[in-house]
Amino acid sequence: MNKLKVGIVVFPGSNCDRDVAWALKGCLDIECCFIWHDSSDLSGLNAIVLPGGFSYGDYLRCGAIARFSKLINSLKDFVKTGRKVIGICNGFQILTESGFLDGALITNKNLNFICNDVQLEIISSKGNWFDQRSKHKIINLPVAHGEGRYYCDEETFKKLLDNDLIAIKYLNNPNGSSWDIAGILNEKGNVFGLMPHPERACDKAIGGSDGQYILKALLND
Protein backbone atom coordinates (compact mmCIF):
# COMPACT_ATOMS: atom_id res chain seq x y z
CA MET A 1 0.00 0.00 0.00
CA ASN A 2 1.24 3.44 -0.86
CA LYS A 3 2.00 5.66 2.07
CA LEU A 4 -0.27 8.67 2.47
CA LYS A 5 1.35 11.81 1.21
CA VAL A 6 1.05 15.51 2.00
CA GLY A 7 1.80 18.19 -0.61
CA ILE A 8 3.47 21.41 0.51
CA VAL A 9 2.79 24.28 -1.88
CA VAL A 10 5.66 26.60 -2.72
CA PHE A 11 4.89 30.10 -3.97
CA PRO A 12 7.54 32.64 -4.88
CA GLY A 13 8.19 34.12 -1.44
CA SER A 14 7.06 31.15 0.68
CA ASN A 15 9.56 30.67 3.48
CA CYS A 16 8.03 28.15 5.89
CA ASP A 17 7.77 25.38 3.30
CA ARG A 18 10.95 23.66 4.46
CA ASP A 19 9.96 24.03 8.12
CA VAL A 20 6.73 22.19 7.32
CA ALA A 21 8.65 19.43 5.50
CA TRP A 22 11.01 19.12 8.46
CA ALA A 23 8.07 18.80 10.85
CA LEU A 24 6.16 16.32 8.69
CA LYS A 25 9.01 14.10 7.60
CA GLY A 26 11.56 14.67 10.33
CA CYS A 27 9.34 14.78 13.40
CA LEU A 28 6.24 12.84 12.37
CA ASP A 29 7.48 10.46 9.66
CA ILE A 30 4.79 11.65 7.25
CA GLU A 31 5.60 11.46 3.54
CA CYS A 32 5.56 14.85 1.85
CA CYS A 33 6.63 16.62 -1.31
CA PHE A 34 6.88 20.19 -2.56
CA ILE A 35 4.51 21.44 -5.26
CA TRP A 36 5.34 24.56 -7.26
CA HIS A 37 2.48 27.09 -7.44
CA ASP A 38 2.40 26.78 -11.22
CA SER A 39 1.33 23.15 -11.08
CA SER A 40 -2.28 22.06 -11.16
CA ASP A 41 -1.56 18.38 -10.63
CA LEU A 42 -2.63 17.36 -7.13
CA SER A 43 -3.04 13.67 -7.92
CA GLY A 44 -1.61 11.24 -5.41
CA LEU A 45 -1.84 13.74 -2.57
CA ASN A 46 -3.95 13.10 0.50
CA ALA A 47 -3.66 16.57 2.01
CA ILE A 48 -2.23 19.99 1.20
CA VAL A 49 -0.32 22.56 3.26
CA LEU A 50 -0.21 26.21 2.25
CA PRO A 51 2.82 27.34 4.25
CA GLY A 52 3.77 30.69 5.72
CA GLY A 53 5.90 33.34 4.12
CA PHE A 54 5.39 36.28 1.82
CA SER A 55 3.89 34.88 -1.37
CA TYR A 56 4.46 37.29 -4.27
CA GLY A 57 6.10 39.71 -1.85
CA ASP A 58 2.75 40.40 -0.15
CA TYR A 59 2.15 42.87 -2.99
CA LEU A 60 -1.28 44.54 -3.03
CA ARG A 61 -2.49 42.52 -0.02
CA CYS A 62 -1.10 39.40 1.64
CA GLY A 63 -2.28 36.41 -0.38
CA ALA A 64 -4.04 38.50 -3.03
CA ILE A 65 -1.89 37.43 -5.97
CA ALA A 66 -1.40 33.80 -4.93
CA ARG A 67 -5.13 33.42 -5.40
CA PHE A 68 -4.66 33.54 -9.17
CA SER A 69 -2.12 30.71 -9.33
CA LYS A 70 -2.90 27.49 -11.19
CA LEU A 71 -2.55 25.59 -7.97
CA ILE A 72 -5.19 27.54 -6.07
CA ASN A 73 -7.50 27.05 -9.02
CA SER A 74 -7.16 23.28 -8.82
CA LEU A 75 -7.44 23.38 -5.03
CA LYS A 76 -11.19 23.98 -5.40
CA ASP A 77 -11.78 20.45 -6.72
CA PHE A 78 -9.36 19.02 -4.18
CA VAL A 79 -11.33 20.60 -1.32
CA LYS A 80 -14.61 19.26 -2.73
CA THR A 81 -13.31 15.70 -2.36
CA GLY A 82 -13.14 16.27 1.40
CA ARG A 83 -9.37 15.92 1.63
CA LYS A 84 -7.76 18.27 4.11
CA VAL A 85 -6.07 21.59 3.50
CA ILE A 86 -4.31 23.68 6.13
CA GLY A 87 -3.20 27.27 5.55
CA ILE A 88 -0.64 28.51 8.03
CA CYS A 89 -0.01 32.26 8.43
CA ASN A 90 0.42 33.44 4.81
CA GLY A 91 -1.41 30.25 3.84
CA PHE A 92 -4.37 31.42 5.97
CA GLN A 93 -4.24 34.80 4.21
CA ILE A 94 -4.33 33.00 0.85
CA LEU A 95 -7.33 30.90 1.93
CA THR A 96 -9.34 34.00 2.90
CA GLU A 97 -8.32 35.93 -0.23
CA SER A 98 -9.31 32.96 -2.39
CA GLY A 99 -12.70 32.63 -0.73
CA PHE A 100 -12.11 29.21 0.85
CA LEU A 101 -12.52 30.82 4.27
CA ASP A 102 -14.50 33.83 5.50
CA GLY A 103 -13.08 37.15 6.67
CA ALA A 104 -9.73 38.81 6.01
CA LEU A 105 -6.35 39.33 7.66
CA ILE A 106 -5.01 42.84 8.08
CA THR A 107 -2.23 44.80 9.78
CA ASN A 108 -1.82 44.08 13.49
CA LYS A 109 -3.57 46.60 15.70
CA ASN A 110 -0.32 47.73 17.35
CA LEU A 111 1.55 47.79 13.99
CA ASN A 112 4.26 45.51 15.42
CA PHE A 113 5.54 42.36 13.82
CA ILE A 114 4.68 39.90 16.58
CA CYS A 115 7.01 36.95 17.07
CA ASN A 116 6.01 35.14 20.23
CA ASP A 117 4.46 32.05 21.76
CA VAL A 118 0.73 32.36 22.30
CA GLN A 119 -1.82 30.40 24.28
CA LEU A 120 -4.79 29.21 22.27
CA GLU A 121 -8.12 27.79 23.31
CA ILE A 122 -9.54 25.00 21.16
CA ILE A 123 -13.13 25.86 20.31
CA SER A 124 -14.35 23.56 17.54
CA SER A 125 -13.94 19.82 17.13
CA LYS A 126 -15.10 20.00 13.53
CA GLY A 127 -12.69 18.31 11.13
CA ASN A 128 -10.93 16.53 14.03
CA TRP A 129 -7.94 18.86 13.86
CA PHE A 130 -7.35 18.56 17.62
CA ASP A 131 -6.95 15.74 20.09
CA GLN A 132 -10.47 15.11 21.36
CA ARG A 133 -9.28 12.69 24.07
CA SER A 134 -7.14 15.31 25.70
CA LYS A 135 -8.66 17.30 28.54
CA HIS A 136 -6.37 20.16 27.70
CA LYS A 137 -8.28 22.66 25.67
CA ILE A 138 -5.36 25.09 25.78
CA ILE A 139 -2.38 24.70 23.45
CA ASN A 140 0.77 26.77 22.93
CA LEU A 141 1.98 27.68 19.46
CA PRO A 142 4.31 30.38 18.12
CA VAL A 143 3.06 33.26 15.98
CA ALA A 144 5.18 35.40 13.65
CA HIS A 145 3.26 37.96 11.64
CA GLY A 146 2.77 41.63 10.91
CA GLU A 147 -0.60 41.23 9.23
CA GLY A 148 -2.44 38.67 11.27
CA ARG A 149 -5.38 40.61 12.63
CA TYR A 150 -8.39 38.52 11.69
CA TYR A 151 -11.29 40.71 10.68
CA CYS A 152 -14.89 39.82 10.02
CA ASP A 153 -18.19 41.65 10.42
CA GLU A 154 -20.90 40.62 12.90
CA GLU A 155 -22.90 38.74 10.31
CA THR A 156 -19.89 36.57 9.41
CA PHE A 157 -19.05 36.11 13.08
CA LYS A 158 -22.57 34.85 13.71
CA LYS A 159 -22.21 32.42 10.80
CA LEU A 160 -18.88 31.16 12.20
CA LEU A 161 -20.40 30.79 15.64
CA ASP A 162 -23.64 29.12 14.54
CA ASN A 163 -21.78 26.59 12.37
CA ASP A 164 -19.01 25.87 14.89
CA LEU A 165 -16.33 27.16 12.51
CA ILE A 166 -14.11 28.98 15.02
CA ALA A 167 -11.28 26.50 15.51
CA ILE A 168 -9.02 28.37 17.94
CA LYS A 169 -9.04 31.62 19.87
CA TYR A 170 -6.22 33.61 21.49
CA LEU A 171 -6.32 33.72 25.27
CA ASN A 172 -4.46 37.05 25.16
CA ASN A 173 -5.29 38.49 21.77
CA PRO A 174 -1.92 39.83 20.52
CA ASN A 175 -2.98 41.50 17.27
CA GLY A 176 -6.50 42.86 17.71
CA SER A 177 -8.29 40.03 15.89
CA SER A 178 -12.09 40.19 15.86
CA TRP A 179 -13.50 38.15 18.77
CA ASP A 180 -9.95 36.85 19.54
CA ILE A 181 -10.11 34.52 16.52
CA ALA A 182 -6.80 32.81 15.64
CA GLY A 183 -8.02 30.13 13.26
CA ILE A 184 -11.21 29.15 11.43
CA LEU A 185 -12.66 26.30 9.39
CA ASN A 186 -14.79 26.00 6.28
CA GLU A 187 -18.28 24.57 6.68
CA LYS A 188 -17.20 21.03 5.91
CA GLY A 189 -14.32 21.30 8.38
CA ASN A 190 -11.68 20.07 5.93
CA VAL A 191 -10.11 23.49 5.33
CA PHE A 192 -8.35 25.05 8.32
CA GLY A 193 -6.64 28.43 8.33
CA LEU A 194 -4.66 29.72 11.30
CA MET A 195 -2.08 32.41 12.02
CA PRO A 196 0.00 30.39 14.56
CA HIS A 197 2.65 27.97 13.27
CA PRO A 198 2.07 24.32 14.27
CA GLU A 199 5.16 23.26 12.26
CA ARG A 200 7.34 25.27 14.65
CA ALA A 201 5.99 23.33 17.62
CA CYS A 202 6.68 19.72 16.68
CA ASP A 203 9.75 19.04 18.80
CA LYS A 204 9.97 19.51 22.56
CA ALA A 205 13.61 20.56 22.22
CA ILE A 206 12.59 23.59 20.19
CA GLY A 207 9.28 25.30 20.74
CA GLY A 208 7.10 22.55 22.23
CA SER A 209 5.06 19.82 20.60
CA ASP A 210 1.49 21.10 20.56
CA GLY A 211 1.65 21.44 16.78
CA GLN A 212 2.14 17.71 16.20
CA TYR A 213 -1.47 16.68 16.49
CA ILE A 214 -2.64 19.35 14.05
CA LEU A 215 -0.20 18.23 11.34
CA LYS A 216 -0.97 14.55 11.95
CA ALA A 217 -4.65 15.43 11.63
CA LEU A 218 -4.04 16.28 7.98
CA LEU A 219 -4.32 12.56 7.31
CA ASN A 220 -7.27 11.85 9.68
CA ASP A 221 -10.80 11.60 8.38
Partner 1 sequence: MKEFRVKVSIRLRPSVLDPAGEAIKSAAGKLGVNNVNSLRIGKLIDINLEAVEKADAIEKVELLCDRLFANKVIEDYEYSFENLDE
Q: Does 151 bind partner 1 (CB under 8 A)?
A: yes
**Contacting residue, 4, 27, 42, 106, with partner 1 by CB under 8 A:** 106
Shortest reach from residue 106's CB to partner 1, in Å:
6
**Contacting residue, 17, 19, 58, 97, with partner 1 by CB under 8 A:** 97
197 tagged catalytic: yes
Q: 24 to 63, contacts with partner 1 by CB under 8 A? A: 60-61
Q: How many Å separate Cα 122 from the centre of its chain? A: 14
Which one, 112 or 220, has the nearer CB to partner 1?
A: 112
How many Å apart are CA 70 and CA 41, to the nearest integer? 9
Q: Does 177 bind partner 1 (CB under 8 A)?
A: no
37 tagged catalytic: no
Q: Does 69 bind partner 1 (CB under 8 A)?
A: no
155 tagged catalytic: no
Which one, 64 or 144, has the nearer CB to partner 1?
A: 64
CB atoms near residue 63 (< 10 Å): 27
**Contacting residue, 96, 177, 186, 190, with partner 1 by CB under 8 A:** 96
Shortest reach from residue 153's CB to partner 1, in Å:
7
Q: Does 111 bind partner 1 (CB under 8 A)?
A: yes
Say which of 89, 145, 152, 202 is annotated catalytic.
89
Number of residues that bind partner 1 (CB under 8 A): 19
Chain residues in the site for partner 1 (CB under 8 A): 60-61, 64, 68, 96-97, 102-104, 106-111, 151-153, 176
Residue positions annotated with a catalytic role: 89, 197, 199
